[in-house]
Amino acid sequence: NAGVTQTPKFQVLKTGQSMTLQCAQDMNHEYMSWYRQDPGMGLRLIHYSVGAGITDQGEVPNGYNVSRSTTEDFPLRLLSAAPSQTSVYFCASRPRTGVLAGGKNIQYFGAGTRLSVL
């Protein structure tokens, strides 16, 4: 049971460097999302996708790009890392049943990536 897999688990970057956080799920979930977790602020939505080829911005999208070329993968790109992007990042997925369609609507999370930008 792989579920949602995030890589890497830890990363240290210098200001201005770029990198991609990888996220893959093997549950055939249509809906995937990226969150960042900062002390005292809970989890905040960065970007999300309701299916391959479709992405949209969340609450804190600035400084991040995403793409969804396949159902399984949803990478998060930092084009020019800043110290303000030091955080723990979570990828999540769930079936696209929606509250109106019923279903459990349970979101599954990856193990997280701790990113430090110096």
Partner 1 sequence: AQTVTQSQPEMSVQEAETVTLSCTYDTSENNYYLFWYKQPPSRQMILVIRQEAYKQQNATENRFSVNFQKAAKSFSLKISDSQLGDTAMYFCASLGTASKLTFGTGTRLQVTL
Asked whether the beta carbons of 27 and 44 are under 8 A apart, the reply is no
Binder to partner 1 among 22, 44, 73, 77 (CB under 8 A)? 44
Does position 98 bind partner 1 by CB under 8 A?
A: yes
Cα(15)–Cα(46) distance, integer angstroms = 20
Does position 14 bind partner 1 by CB under 8 A?
A: no
> What is the helix (H) or strand (E) element at residue 83, kind and residue range?
none
Binder to partner 1 among 22, 43, 72, 86 (CB under 8 A)? 43
Please give the size of the binding site for partner 1, defined by CB under 8 A: 27
Cα(65)–Cα(79) distance, integer angstroms = 8
Binder to partner 1 among 20, 58, 72, 75 (CB under 8 A)? 58
Nearest CA to 96 out of 26, 27, 29, 23 is that of 29
Does position 111 bind partner 1 by CB under 8 A?
A: yes
Alpha helices in 1-118 (DSSP H): 98-101
The contact set with partner 1 (CB under 8 A) reads 31, 33, 35, 40-45, 48, 50, 58, 88, 90, 92, 96, 98-100, 104-107, 109, 111-112, 114
